[in-house]
Structure 1
Amino acid sequence: MAVLRDAFGPNGCIRTAVERHDVGSGSIYTWRRQAMSGERAGVPKLPEPAFAEVWMGEPPALPASIAPLVPGLIGIALPSGIKVTVDAAVAIDALSRVIGALTR
């Protein structure tokens, strides 16, 4: 922290800090970045929040063949407009392969 104060304090100078403490300027900038993020103080940096866009509304109309909602069925609408309906007990690996093939 003394090196950072010498480099970035009110009367700080990178060149003076480098010469006085016999360190490279790259190390000083790395330490400054770590201090600003909390890493230097031993506090891990919190992950950045991530957001997903969600639209709430009425469920889409299902094809006439499955118009009455059947318990245990899952309807999946792909961005391409393709709709897939599967039983709740579908094998996830198989479903993943089918959706992968449909999105190509």
Structure 2
Amino acid sequence: MVLRDVELNYLEKWLPEASVKYKDGSPAVNLGLIITVFFKDGHTPDVRRRMVECVDRFYTEFKPYLKKHLTQNWVGITEKNYARKQQEIIDSTPEEIFSWYM
């Protein structure tokens, strides 16, 4: 696979956010995984509640590895802001589109 300049420019744009250093000062890169899930009838209140349950199961399984989620900015996950996001999704109208980044 050969990267084109456009792809390299895109990667370089995000490098400062992805770069970290180990305690010994050596460089490392945080890698992420993006999963997009679509739910049939996702606009209905019942399915939205089940979506939140699905995220809850995911969060329970991977909680030690999930440190932040996106609200207005990337913030540490707390019980309070996690519950707020859950309720925001449950209370959303059928017309609203939402996402939850962790």
> How does the TM-score come out when normalised to structure 1?
0.20
> How does the TM-score come out when normalised to structure 2?
0.21
Larger Rg: 1
